């Protein structure tokens, strides 16, 4: 993970694309891990699924992320995290089906 967080200065289009591919690979791994953890959360909540969403927690999560990624800002991160959360909830529902 450390290598992904180090600043890079790709100078060519292929170098830029290679750097993006590395970040995308890490994102895919992290998103899969997040979805698995969110699936566990769904089994622990008294009300799971979409009905069990916690808007205040989600706002807090986005605010924390925006402090780490101020260039993206809360509005963009809220859209991204909404998609991530919904994908995880859909996956959890699919995995619960017989």
Residue 58: its H or E element: helix 55-68
- What is the rounded CA–CA span in Å between residue 87 and residue 71? 24
Residue 69 contacts by C-beta under 8 Å, 6 or more apart in sequence? 77
Q: Are 66 and 72 in contact (CB under 8 A)?
A: yes
pLDDT in tens, 8-54: 899 999 999 999 999 999 999 999 999 999 999 988 999 888 899 99
- What is the rounded CA–CA span in Å between residue 97 and residue 80? 26
> What domains lie within the chain, and their CATH numbers?
11-96 (1.20.59)
| Predicted local confidence at residue 49, as pLDDT | 87
| Predicted local confidence at residue 98, as pLDDT | 74
Q: Are 93 and 49 in contact (CB under 8 A)?
A: yes
pLDDT in tens, 64-91: 999 999 999 999 999 999 999 999 999 9
């Amino acid at each position: 993970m450390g290598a992904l967080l180090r600043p890079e200065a790709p100078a060519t289009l292929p170098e830029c694309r290679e750097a993006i591919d590395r970040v995308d690979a890490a994102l895919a791994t992290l998103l899969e891990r997040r979805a698995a953890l969110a699936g566990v959360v769904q089994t622990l909540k008294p009300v799971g699924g979409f009905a069990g969403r916690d808007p205040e927690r989600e706002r807090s999560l986005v605010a924390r992320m925006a402090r780490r990624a101020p260039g993206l800002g809360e509005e963009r991160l809220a859209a991204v995290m909404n998609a991530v959360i919904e994908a995880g909830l859909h996956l959890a529902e699919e995995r619960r089906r017989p």
